[in-house]
Every structure is written in C-alpha cells, then in structure tokens.
Amino acid sequence: MKKTIIMSLITSALLTSLYAQEHKSPAQILEEALKKMEALVDKDASKSELNITKVDTNMTKESNITKIDDNNSFTLGKYGTFKFEKANDNVYIMHGPVVSPNKENQGFMNNPAVIGGETGLIVVDPGGNYNVGKKILAEIEKISDKPIVAVFNTHKHGDHWFANKAIVEKYPNVDIYAHPNMIKASKEGEAEVWYGILSRTTGNLDGTKEFAFPSKTLIDGQKIEIDGQKFIIQHPQDAHTDTDIVIAHMNSMTLFLGDNLMKGRLGSFDESSSIFGNIELLENIKKETDFKLYVPGHGKSGKKDETIDPFLNYLKVLAEEGQKAYDDDKESYEVKGDVMKKLPWMMEWDGFEKNMPTHLNKVMLEIEELELAKESSKE
C-alpha cells in the first residue's frame, strides 16, 4: 500500500472518532495519524525482514529439563504453579493469576515476559515485588542461560515493576526503560502509594525498597533496537494512565499493551486516565495493526479480536450507558443495573462488581467534561 493511501485511511479513521478526540486539536490528530502511519510502514518493512531472520535456537534449554524439582517450582497455593511458556517466536510469557493482589498470590498477578536477544534477554514487566522478582528470575534461568540486558516497564503501577529490584540486584548494569511520565510519577509518590496498597494486600514487600526505578526513557513513536531485537513504542497520551507505553516487538510481531488491555479482571483508573482515550487506543489498534500475538497486562494473551474485544466492549458499554444517563440527568448508580444487564459474561471477571461502578462514575465525569467543553466552544 502506498504511504498516501495509508495516511488518508488512518487520518479519516481518526477523524471519524472525533467525539472521543474533542480535546485534541486537528493538528494534534494529524500529527498522531502521521506517527501511526510511520509505525505501520515500519511494521511492513520488518515483516519482510522477518523472512530472512535466522531462527533462534538458543532458547531451547527448557527441553533439557524434563523434570523440574517441585521444591524448585514457583507455586502459589490454590493458584497453582507458574512458569514461562513459549507464546511466540522467541517470546516467553508467564501468565500470572487473574485476580487482585492478595496474600495467597503474594503480589504476583501480572504477565512477565522474556524476549530472547542475540546475547541476552529482555524482560517486560517483571512483577510486583522483590520476592516475586527472585522467583521470576529463577524461572527465567530455567529457559535460558543468557543474562538479562534490558527491562521494559509498561506503566507506573507497582504490581508491574517493583520486581525490577531483584533484577538490578543480579544485573546491576541492566537498562530499565519506561516513559518519562512513569519515572516522574513513580518518584513523586506513586511508588509509595503502590507500596502501601501491595503491602496491605499481600504482606510480601520485604526487600522491595529502595525502589529500582527505570532510568532510560522511551517516548511516543520511538524505535529502539536492543540486542538485535527491534521495538516500536507507542505512548497513548491518555488511556489507562498517562504513563503507559505500548511495546511492539517487531521480530516476533508481538504487541504488549500493558494495562490498556485486561482480560478476566478489572483494575483501576485514576485522574490521569481516560476511558475514552482507552477506547480510542484499542479501536485504533484493532483497525490498524496485525500482530501475531496481543499481550494484556493481566489475563491470557492471544489473537487480536479474542484478546481485545471483551475489554473494549466493556469500555464501550460504559461509555454508551454513561452518555444515556448523562442525557437523562441520572446519576451513575441509577444505571449500574443497565450496565450489568448488558455484560452478563463479565460477572465472573475478578473485580467486576467492585470496579465497574467506579469506572461508570469515571466515564460520566469524562462525558461531563466533554459536554462542558462543547458548550464553551459554542459561546
């Protein structure tokens, strides 16, 4: 496809979602469209490179260990045993328990991932505390002898990055990457807030301080090559939080979405989040990308639609019902039941009953802001 066609397609797709974008200027929208076009073109380029990339045969250590000693396995009570499983070419993921932090999961409930480079390993979101990090390290050693050379942290929430501490202890020179907003927010109080949350709920934070903050920054549109592995970074200005990065691993065609996507459980939004921004991000990813594997922050990874649709549909129901309630001058608690009725399949998601009303309230605040902005632009 020619660049101009791709550009106009993306631009019109973006312009049609104007409702969600009203807070952005046309220049910003166009700039974003151009960036996305660039990412798409690069993706195609790397796809063709893929054909000539030699198959990595270094990450086959697992097959040598036919029997893992039970004492040596990472087990969390009723949640069972956890290990890294091959999810894509050269990409290994350990899918954590899909529940909120508690004593039994010891603060492990995210999806740490390992990408095999030429001489070392790259880790995405190593987990929620120092002790979990040690166990993750031991599991990584079961799949490869290579050292960890880099770590990505997708956002500011401690359940994803507090385990940096264990990696830094073993590999003091490791590069840890995150968005500048993530580093700033974490250092300015968010790390302490999460330390409080996780120590109350899991009681397993010993050794986690002093925090091992990321020190290398990644910005929207940045392309980075680490140890022969190519990545393209997207920073949605406002989606799950304003600190998130979405990481495209181009060698394997894997997209790591962090908590912009969840499956099987809900988490929290905060004042830096935008539910409309999150919807827009997921819709654009659905329209414009064709990765082999999509990895949520929590819950099972998989193909595009099966992984993205449930959470995206949830957010869209919130937005629709929130708008109706706003138009009818109702409070969020009055329409809670209508949302529940539309999402019977979500009753089994962890945290649904607790988080949904908060999310509904949040989306209505966003609607109110958008409506007020509309009003004032008319005047």
259 is a site residue for Zn ion (CB under 5 A): yes
CB-based contacts of 165-170 (< 8 A; 24+ apart in sequence): 165/129, 165/130, 165/133, 165/207, 165/208, 165/211, 165/212, 166/126, 166/130, 166/131, 166/132, 166/133, 166/134, 166/136, 166/137, 166/207, 167/123, 167/126, 167/133, 167/137, 167/212, 168/212, 170/137
Which residue's CB is nearer to Zn ion, number 117 or number 133? Answer: 133
Which residue's CB is nearer to Zn ion, number 269 or number 291? Answer: 269
> Would you state the structure tokens that stand for residue 131, as one six-digit string?
């002790």
190 is a site residue for Zn ion (CB under 5 A): no
CB of 188 to Zn ion, least distance (A): 19
In the chain, DSSP finds a helix count (H) and a strand count (E) of 12, 14
CB of 197 to Zn ion, least distance (A): 11
Select the span of 85-93, 204-212, 234-242, 258-266 touching Zn ion (CB under 5 A): 258-266
Select the span of 67-75, 114-122, 158-166, 303-311 touching Zn ion (CB under 5 A): 158-166
Rounded to 10°, the helix 26-50/275-288 angle is: 40
- Which residue of the chain is nearest Zn ion when measured via CB? 259
CB of 110 to Zn ion, least distance (A): 6
Which residue's CB is nearer to Zn ion, number 135 or number 157? Answer: 157
φ/ψ region of 84 (left if φ > 0, alpha if ψ in -120 to 50, else beta) reads beta
Which residue's CB is nearer to Zn ion, number 159 or number 190? Answer: 159
* Rounded Cα gap, residues 219 and 223, in angstroms: 9
Compute how many residues bind Zn ion; rule: CB under 5 A.
4
Kind plus residue range of the DSSP H or E element containing 230: strand 229-234
Select the span of 38-46, 53-61, 150-158, 303-311 touching Zn ion (CB under 5 A): 150-158
Which residue's CB is nearer to Zn ion, number 198 or number 367? Answer: 198
350 is a site residue for Zn ion (CB under 5 A): no
Which residue's CB is nearer to Zn ion, number 46 or number 131? Answer: 131
Select the span of 51-59, 259-267, 288-296, 315-323 touching Zn ion (CB under 5 A): 259-267
* Rounded Cα gap, residues 141 and 147, in angstroms: 9
Contact 281, 271 (CB under 8 A): no
Select the span of 154-162, 218-226, 245-253, 283-291 touching Zn ion (CB under 5 A): 154-162
Identified binder of Zn ion from the candidate list 107, 297, 310, 322, rule CB under 5 A: 297
Contact 83, 77 (CB under 8 A): no
Q: How many residues does the chain have?
A: 379
Residues forming the site for Zn ion (CB under 5 A): 157, 159, 259, 297
